[in-house]
Amino acid sequence: MCAPSGLTGLIPNAAPARVLLPNGDAEVSVSIANDQIFGNVYVNGEGPYVFILDTGASQVSVSPRVAALFPGSISGTTTVTTDPTLDGTNAPLIHIDRLSFGSISFEDFVAFVFDVDPTFTSTEITFTVDGVIALPLFQQVALTLNYPESKVRVQTGVLPEVDGCSVLPLYRSSTGLVEVPATINSRSQNLLIDSGSTTMLNVPASFSDLPFIEPPRMDRIITITGTVDVLVGCVPSGTASLGCVQFADPCLVVGGELALIGGEAMLPYVVTIDQTSGRIRFQQP
């Protein structure tokens, strides 16, 4: 079973010093495959390379193949992992002068070197994935994931006030990522916004008593840095919600310490993550 691709680690200067955004608003066409978002990028003028856009990743990463083009930019290491229950792995750090995504450029930040491509070998992905476009790139702008139209929009400005329905508050996690409040079987649970995950909803092992429609099956999540044993099962409509967003007979992954909403759940929506105002909006086109 494919798992969240998001990598977390402690890196100084993970956010770009500058974001060059033409007229304060830009839209980029992307590919949606395996319930994940992929786009073409240029790294320090070299490319294009296919990167996954992963809001569940706390740092940008580039493949060893790309990093080898810039040996003078590599310095130091960090420990990265995909789940608090898993051991981490060491990865070199690399300074990126410019990462270009469509007409948008992110300048002067630190990424780490890690090969994410093996994660996709058992999926429908047939192209090489050379890196991760991570959440810190968008700290000072609003990021819109338009799944139905296979587009990503980046703009300045803020979302409307929180209304508890389509516009919800964002909360910052201990790893610097963003979470949204959800209700799971009448219990409150913050969920990581994880566009890199192929699952619908992940909840911790404490939710193993959910009213599953049928007995859940045992499975194992394969992540970049290890595996996690989980239960997988579907629950009745109304069991899981985010504001006015109700999921019809959603299938959940239960286990580990991860709590997230993944790409499968967001596919019908236009999702705007505005870190500057601390808000998120779910819209249906």
- List C-alpha distances in Å: 29 to 37, 143, 281: 10, 14, 20
* CATH 2.40.70.10 segments of the chain: 8-155, 167-283
Euclidean distance between CA atoms 240 and 183, whole angstroms: 6
Kind and range of the H or E run holding 263: helix 263-266
Q: What is the mean predicted confidence (pLDDT) over 48-75?
A: 95
Tell me whether strands 104-113 and 25-29 are parallel, antiparallel or unpaired.
unpaired
> What is the tens place of the pLDDT at every residue in 114-149?
998 887 766 778 899 999 999 999 999 999 999 999
Q: How far is CA 182 from CA 7, 134, 236, 244, 254, in A?
A: 23, 23, 16, 10, 15
pTM of the model as a whole: 0.91
Q: Report pLDDT for 76.
A: 85
pLDDT digits (tens, 9 = 90+) for 186-205: 999 999 999 999 889 999 99
Mean pLDDT value across residues 70-76: 91
Contact between 243 and 23 under an 8 Å Cβ cutoff? The reply is: no
DSSP assigned state of 215: P
Domain range 167-283, CATH class: mainly beta
pLDDT over 90 percentage in the chain: 74
Question: Cα angle at 242 between 279 and 145, to 5 degrees?
Answer: 55
Which residues, at least 6 apart from 175, have a Cβ–Cβ distance to it below 8 Å? 8, 58
Q: What is the largest CA-CA distance in the chain?
A: 56
What is the CATH architecture of 8-155? Beta Barrel (2.40)
* Range 70-75 contact pairs with CB under 8 angstroms and sequence separation of 24 or more: 70/43, 70/44, 70/94, 73/44, 73/97, 74/113
Tokens representing residue 168 in the block: 């919800």
What is the rounded CA–CA span in Å between residue 57 and residue 116?
12
Q: pLDDT category, 4, cuts 50, 70, 90?
A: very low
* Cα 53 from chain centroid (whole Å): 7
